[in-house]
Structure 1
Amino acid sequence: MTSEDESWYAEVGIKPGAILEGGKSTYIIDRLLGEGGFGAVFKIYDKNDSKLCYAMKIEKKIENKIHSKLKMEISILKMVANVRKGPSERNHFTAIIDRGKKEYYYFLIMQLVGKSLQDLKKERPMNVFSLSTGLGVGMQCLEAVEDLHKHAFIHRDLKPANYACGLDKQMHTVYILDFGIARKYTNDKGELKTPRAKVRFKGTVRFASLACHRCIEMSVKDDVESWFYLLLDLIVKEGLPWKNIQDRNDVQKLKEEFREKRDLYGTLKCKNDYQDILTYIDRLEYTDHVDYQFIYKKIKLIALDEGCTVKEMIHDFERHFEEIGEWLKAKKVAEDEMKKFLSMFKDSCDQILWLNTGYHLDYREKEELNVETLRKRLLTVKKQMDGYPEVKEEFLTSLIDFEKSLRKMFEQSLRKYDVKNGLQKLINDRSVELWMDFIVEKTTVFSFFLH
């Protein structure tokens, strides 16, 4: 068991391999997926059929605790269970499988989903999706928010980490997660609740609405504002201007300043269309309904102007996974080759008989063979990366670091050899220059990635 597993076992008796008796079946705990202050998520499977895997959320029983996050989640998931059940529509909410309580905790067993958008984004070069993927995913994220609002709830913590893609046949569907701080915005009569005079900050600083920063009661418009920041986070290569800032007040100022500058969009085209969406959101009041169709139409217009088809926007997840796989495979191949070459080079530098014009001919021939092998592998990698300019940009940085490592090791070897043999006058800068010319010429490290 990991230390996290041991912690949960000590507190509530849950550990990998343990049996859990539910109301509808018996389950086996597989492993811990994630944890927070008062709860955790485990992967489990049905004891009678190990192919049936689920996610189980648990919440510790806390004495005198008024609000249960898990009860809120169960309440919402029960309400939205039949949302978007048409043949061409998606349900963006995970299905409830089972639920109950034990001596030390409450549990909710639900449909297992794949990686979060946050994790998927991290696997991408530049940490962003392709535009077609990002726009398609963004539309699904907004659909989920719209469906939640239809049931009179606001989420209050929308961010890439709280969305995930499905598994298997649902891999093209985006699911909204974690309703722990969601709030019902209507009273028992279905009327909009009177806003409280002051509320506490709720959510995540990077994606929080301005109303949230100002401790003003939030409504549906604030979820949509958070969604807009989320969309930009998925597709803007430069990222949100405040992405590395944690202080709430500083982030609030930047959100206000960049609105005035109309400069949240980095190198994206169609800046005016994105700005139109934000301007529309900013004009909404607490009591207003959101015109989701206006936003969908704007996104589709952006996609059209960018040459992204509806089909690409819907099904690009599959290609996205393929791209990630190819990119990671290509990157690993090249990095492994560079590590081998660096290791070989380091070991061999001390053995080279350096002369004023270069190095021993026999050794050069052997070295040339290794460099030629590296060059061929890098050319193969280049072919794999063709069509991914952002990948080449990131990989070029690795190659530049590689060249610097070669030079550093060579110079260190020279200094070591000088001390041993007193040949300082024979070995000069020209030797270094000749060696590096040879390396760069043979690997063509820069030329084939720059053109």
Structure 2
Amino acid sequence: MSLPKPPSSIANGDYTVEKMLGAGCFGQVWRGWNRNKDLQVAVKFEDNQGKSSSLQLHHEQEVLSLLANTSPQGFAKLLAFTVEGRFSCLVMEMLGFSLEDRLQGCGGKFSAPTCVLIADQCLRRIEYLHSLGILHRDIKPENFMFGVKNRIHVIHLIDFGLSKRYYEGRHAAMRTNLSLTGTARYASINAHRGIEQSRRDDLEAIGHMLMCFLRGTLPWSGLQAKTQEEKYRKIREKKEQTPLEELCADFPDAFRVYLVKARALQFTDRPDYNALRKLFSDLRQEIGPQEDHGFQFLKGSLGSLEPLEIKEDVVQPDDQIEVKSSSGCCTIS
């Protein structure tokens, strides 16, 4: 059943709603406009009618508000959140092409040099999200989008409707027999097995996404099944049965090593994000490109671009922090 058309004006008339850009399980995304500021925006609508819980846009607004406290590069800015009749409405800055858009524009594959650049930025985004005690849980090319204008080379992590806190004072406990959350093509093996997700699962999903970029397809893509349950089972079995040497054959070994390290992590392990990024920065020294904007799909004069933020040693919630005092040095968590 199709959703009713959302309102044409929201937030006391601050934003007009112009054209639908897409739809997902949560609702619809429309292009909007703030005429007072001459600003194009993206507006997400979720129909609240008949729902008593699991309102994804309200949850996403909470995550974006948390991100807004530090305004890190690579996350869309939250501009407004309001309820208009039966709809929750989330307004954020307009972004550009997604990785999926760019992939299709390149014939379904990315070169290894382009994947190296993608890997670095995706790992920085997920490291920062994890530093807030939050998992993404739906890694896929559609959820990474490039900016516009002087941020056309900056990858943004979007869509936090399925995200979840994994750390509040302490690491969440591991549960089992759970339904799969996320996109089956990229999900980790443990997510398929019904195990509670943690940081390792976002990282493994990024590895699967990168291999899809390089290969053009994955061994578990396009499997035929009569039911969703059967399809998920077949995908899980194919992932389990495909050796990483086979999956990553004919491509730089950094991609295989990355997946080996991601899959080796235990549930509560604190990933070494620096070491994972170094796999790709070392490869970049060998094969290029040297420019941060050297993607195969960005050609010609790009003008003056915003420098990429390089934050090393982002503090994770389970890191031990040394605090010096006049009486000496103590350690707190």
TM-score normalised per structure 1: 0.62
Q: 2:81 aligns with which of 91, 99, 103?
A: 99
Check whether the contact 1:43–1:55 (CA below 8 A) recurs between aligned residues: yes
Query: Of Structure 1 and Structure 2, which has the larger fraction of its residues in helix?
Result: 1
Question: What is the CA deviation profile of residues 137-160 of structure 1, one whole-angstrom value per residue up to 9, with x for unaligned ones?
Answer: 121111111111011111111010
**Helix, strand or coil for the counterpart of 1:80?**
helix
1:139-218 mapped onto 2 (5 Å cutoff): 139-187=120-168, 190-218=169-197
Larger RCO (CA under 8 A, 6+ residues apart): 2
Shift of 1:82: 4.5
Larger Cα-atom Rg: 1
Structure 1 residues 22 and 201 mapped into 2: Cα distance closer, same or farther (>3 Å)?
A: same
Secondary structure, aligned partner of 1:316:
coil
- Deviation at residue 122 of structure 1 after TM alignment: 0.5
Distance, in Å, in 2 between the alignment partners of 1:216 and 1:266 is 29
> Which residue in the other structure is 1:289 paired with?
270
Task: Quote the residue 1:253 is aligned against.
Answer: 237
Q: Distance in 2 between matches of 1:284 and 1:104?
A: 43
Partner Cα distance (1:44, 1:13) in 2? 12
Mapped to 2, the partners of 1:21 and 1:243 lie a distance apart of 41
Contact persistence 1:236–1:266 (CA under 8 A): no
Matches of residues 5-404 of structure 1 in structure 2 within 5 Å?
8=3, 11-14=4-7, 18=8, 20-22=9-11, 26-49=14-37, 51-83=38-70, 85=72, 91-125=73-107, 127-187=108-168, 190-237=169-216, 239-245=217-223, 247-259=231-243, 262-268=245-251, 270-271=252-253, 273-305=254-286, 307-311=287-291, 314-317=292-295, 320-322=297-299
Shift in alpha-carbon separation, 1:265–1:84, aligned structure 2, 3 A: farther
Instruction: Give the match's secondary structure for 2:174.
Output: coil
Give the gaps of 5 or more residues in structure 2. 225-230, 301-333
TM-aligned CA distance change 1:92 to 1:83, over 3 Å: farther
Q: 2:149 is matched by which residue type in structure 1?
A: D
| Deviation of 1:163 (Å) | 0.8
Q: Which runs of 5+ in 1 are unaligned?
A: 86-90, 324-451
2 CA distance for matches of 1:93 and 1:48?
Answer: 24
Counterpart-to-counterpart distance in 2, 1:61 and 1:155 = 23
Instruction: Supply the distance in 2 between the matched residues of 1:38 and 1:80 (Cα, whole angstroms).
Output: 21
Alpha-carbon distance, 1:310 to partner: 3.4
Residue pair 1:34, 1:42 contacting (<8 A) in 2 also: yes
The one-letter code sitting in structure 1 at the alignment partner of 2:171 is L
SS at match of 2:21: strand
Any conservation in 2 of the 1:12–1:105 contact (CA below 8 Å)? Answer: no
Comparing both structures, which one devotes a greater share of its residues to strand?
A: 2
Counterparts of 1:168 and 1:251, CA distance in 2 = 39
- What secondary structure sits across from 1:263 in the alignment? helix
- Report the 3-state secondary structure (helix = DSSP H, G, I; strand = E; otherwise coil) of the residue aligned with 1:206: coil
**Displacement after TM superposition at 1:66 (Å):** 1.4
Displacement over 4 Å in runs of 4+: 82-85
Superposed CA deviations along residues 318-359 of structure 1, whole A, max 9, x for unmatched, are x51338xxxxxxxxxxxxxxxxxxxxxxxxxxxxxxxxxxxx
Equivalenced residues, count: 294
Q: Is the 8 A contact 2:207 2:255 kept in 1?
A: no
Whichever residue aligns with residue 288 of structure 1, its letter is D
Q: Secondary structure at the match of 1:196?
A: coil
TM-score, length-normalised on structure 2? 0.82
Shift of 1:84: 6.7
Match of 1:207, SS state, is coil
Question: Which residue type is aligned with residue 172 of structure 2?
Answer: K
Contact 2:47 2:87 (C-alpha < 8 Å) held by counterparts: yes
Structure 1 vs Structure 2 CA RMSD: 2.0
1:14-52 C-alpha deviation (Å, 9 max, x unpaired): 3xxx3x1316x6222110011124411100011335x41
